[in-house]
Amino acid sequence: MPPLSTHSEPDQANETLEALLARIRGCRHCTSVLPHEPRPFVQAAPGARLLIIGQAPGSKVHASGIGWDDASGDRLRDWLGLDKARFYDPELVAQMPSGFCYPGKGDGGDLPPRPECAPLWHAPLLERLPNLRLVLLVGRYAQVLYLSPALRRSMTETVRRWQDMPDPYFPLPHPAWRSRLWMAKHPWFEAEVLPALRKRIAEALA
């Protein structure tokens, strides 16, 4: 997956962000392979300075249409030190999942993000967010899309090496319930990474 410097198709190069968001929300590219009606989620505005790239909406987000509208979102907002008002302000925070639609359930939880989404929508969306200062790569799927193999040998190693990441990326584990067990095994995350993360976010949103 290419980094932030990417290019749209020539016939859509002058498309506004508003028009692009309408196309994303109206996307039915995966209708034949999803177990439900597509409901793409995205949050963005031209002034956004923080971008959150997660994996894919869960069932609760699919139902509500509100990103991170579940216990994982509560945990993520706590990690970031952001209240809901700031988190859901698109002029501050953009949200762009690895897959924009809820992929459905598998044997061990939600299925992976649909692979069609990122190649279709990430590059044109990033081009229309010129004020980004910090990009959070939340979970393994986002890290695979944007980091070189040398920087993502494992999720734990990637997060531990947050200071080695190229600007503007900051890697995080996915804040699912299992993250509590992971944090108990890796106390450096709460002691070292979260304070640095909150400082970076405060600087980005200042």
3-state secondary structure of 199: helix
Per-residue pLDDT reduced to its tens digit, 33-71: 999 999 999 999 999 999 999 999 999 999 999 999 999
Give the number of other Cβ atoms within 10 Å of residue 169's Cβ. 21
Nearest to 29, CA basis, from 114, 145, 123: 114
Domain boundaries along the sequence of the chain: 10-205
> For residue 11, what pLDDT is reported?
52
Q: How many helices and strands (H and E) does the chain possess?
A: 11, 6
Class of domain 10-205: alpha beta
- Nearest CA to 61 among 22, 27, 23, 110? 110
Average pLDDT over residues 97-123: 93
pTM of the predicted model as reported, rounded to 2 decimal places: 0.93
pLDDT exceeds cutoff 80 at 168: yes
CB 53 within 8 A of CB 146: yes
